[in-house]
Amino acid sequence: MEEIKVDGLQIPDPLYSLAEKLSSEWGTYLRKIKENWAIAEVDNWESALPPCVKAIMDGVKAGKNVPHSARFMLASFLLSIGLSVEEVLEIFRAAPDFKEQIARYQVEHIAGLRGSRKKYSPYKCDNMKTLALCVAECNVKHPLQYYWKSLRHRTATKRDKV
């Protein structure tokens, strides 16, 4: 990397190849993660949720009127860990103001299936703190990090017991 001189807006070939290689390796890695950690393959995935997401989900399931930012967080988080639009809608069905058509439009929008086709990412812990949605100190920077760590830990513990 030190030998590569970046000149203006031109991307040098070695840097371009390096980025391509990294991107392809990352793609393979992501595919592997998705195969191994698909929701259908994970027992009791809800127990691996970070406390903030669990609190929002419990609130929605209990029929509480949770704020828009919390709903966005819940939907984007669940879609990111592999739930389908239908599965996410099933969770929101308990909300007191649930309207199938509007909820479907919003969840599909967050999933990147409508409008700008941009898939939205869940908030980072810093954003969650600003929005007063953070409910614990978990020593992570992102709620997704908590989830994946928690699943990894569970798998390692299971393996150790075998």
In the three-class reduction of DSSP (H, G, I as helix; E, B as strand; rest coil), residue 51 is classed as: helix
Residues in contact with 57: Cβ distance below 8 Å, sequence separation at least 6, in sequence order: 46, 49, 74, 91
Least distance CB 62 / ligand SF4 (angstroms): 19
- Find the shortest distance in angstroms from Cβ 48 to ligand SF4: 12
If the CB atoms of residues 73 and 103 are measured against ligand SF4, the closer one turns out to be: 73
Report the nearest approach of ligand SF4 to the CB of residue 78 (Å): 14
Long-range CB pairs of 127-135 (<8 Å, 24+ gap) are: 128/52, 128/73, 131/69, 131/70, 133/52, 133/56, 133/69, 133/70, 133/73, 134/52, 135/51, 135/52, 135/55
Name the residues that contact ligand SF4, by CB under 6 A.
50-52, 125, 128, 134-138, 140, 143, 146
Structure token digits, residue 120: 């939205």
Closer residue to ligand SF4 (CB): 136 or 156: 136
10 forms beta bridges with: 7
Of the two residues 103 and 133, which places its CB atom closer to ligand SF4 in the complex? 133
Whichever of 4 and 136 has its CB closer to ligand SF4, that residue is: 136
**What is the closest distance, in whole angstroms, from the C-beta atom of residue 66 to ligand SF4 in the complex?**
15
